[in-house]
Structure 1
Amino acid sequence: AEVRRLLTWFERRFTDEVNAVLLHERMEKPLLRLGPPEARALRAGREALKSHLAMMEGLLARRDALAGRRISQADIVAAAHLSVLDYFGEVAWASWPGLKTWYMKLKSRPSFRPLLADRFPGVQASAWYQDLDF
């Protein structure tokens, strides 16, 4: 039940409040030539991201993985969402030590590495994006 709850949360709330805002401004606008990112939208997306990261940090303070003791589909989905934001340097990892450790473990898995090879034309990945032990 916890895995399903978290999957729904990522696919609805995280997508609507964070990805729809930040990725629109950072990825879709340049791709579609819709002008520069809007500062107000970026601030709103970053504030929403902070609240979601705080929730995840809280879960990981009590658990080994997001939904419990073992890695589940919830962790994989969460890591995929965070990977895109990490590419653009949107996650302040120093503020979320438990989340950073969790993400480093997932990022180091062989099955996750193809995500790290993806590139967005015209946008340089963050300096630590491919570093497994950032």
Structure 2
Amino acid sequence: MNVLYHYPLSPFSRKVRLCLGEKRIEVKLVEERYWEKDAELMRRNPAGKVPILKLESKVLTESTAICEYLEDAYPQPPLMPRSADDKYEVRRLISWFDDKFYHEVTTKLVGERVFRKVMGTGYPDSSNVKAGAKAIKYHLDYMAWLLEKRRWLAGNSMTLADFAAASHLSCLDYISDVDWNRSEVVKDWYAKIKSRPAFRSILADQIPGFPVPPQYANLDF
């Protein structure tokens, strides 16, 4: 059986889940409290991170490497373009969201509002929350700028770049930290990707102690 060790509000786990769902690869989801770094987790991935994908006889780690492996091993439907220039743009945007957006927004909002409580590391740092709330406006505006010229973030076809962005934004949407009224084009983009069958398991996620907001699973939000 294929198994994905994940955490529901990990954007990196969500990116892999979207890729698996789009390629119709069935997996068993196993929730992993990765910050506890138990022996089994460290054996599967000495880096102590999720996601970890057990695929047949292989154990795969690092979300972008997993997604690119799946793209090579299961090329249909394609989630990467064919030309070198277009592949570069997808990889650039994946790095933008998994590095810059993650550190400037996700860790400061989801990290403070959810993970501090879940991990038992104290109360939210209000300065971090304020910084994250300010930074997300810049990122939404950048997305709007891209989407005014393209159907999808990296071009005219849906790619792993869209999954990277949607994974972070869906985590933030779980805690109602995305102003969808800021940009109609970004809202329309998210509505398109949110309505895909691959997104269904993500919209069913529930974190104990954090009620699901009304707009989170609503396709007509």
TM-score tier, shorter chain, comes to over 0.9
**Pair 1:102 & 2:189 matched:** yes
> Any residues of structure 2 matched to 1:65-80 within 5 Å, and which?
65-80=152-167
Q: What is the Cα deviation at residue 48 of structure 1? A: 1.0
**Pair 1:119 & 2:206 matched:** yes
TM-score by length of 2: 0.59
**Pair 1:9 & 2:118 matched:** no
> Any residues of structure 2 matched to 1:8-27 within 5 Å, and which?
8-27=95-114
Query: In 2, are the aligned partners of 1:89 and 1:125 still within 8 Å (CA)?
Result: no
> Any residues of structure 2 matched to 1:20-35 within 5 Å, and which?
20-35=107-122
> Any residues of structure 2 matched to 1:16-95 within 5 Å, and which?
16-95=103-182
Write out per-residue CA displacement over residues 46-103 of structure 1, whole angstroms, 9 at most, x where no aligned residue: 1111111110011011110000001011001111111000000000101121100000
* SS of residue matched to 1:94: coil
Q: Which has the larger radius of gyration?
A: 2
Which ranges of structure 1 fall in alignment gaps of 5 or more residues? none
Please tell me the root mean square deviation across aligned C-alpha atoms, in Å: 1.0
Count of residue pairs the alignment pairs up: 134
Which ranges of structure 2 fall in alignment gaps of 5 or more residues? 1-87
Q: Which runs of 4+ in 1 moved over 6 A?
A: none
Q: State the identity %.
A: 44
Amino acid at match of 1:15: Y
* SS of residue matched to 2:219: coil
Which has the larger strand fraction?
Answer: 2
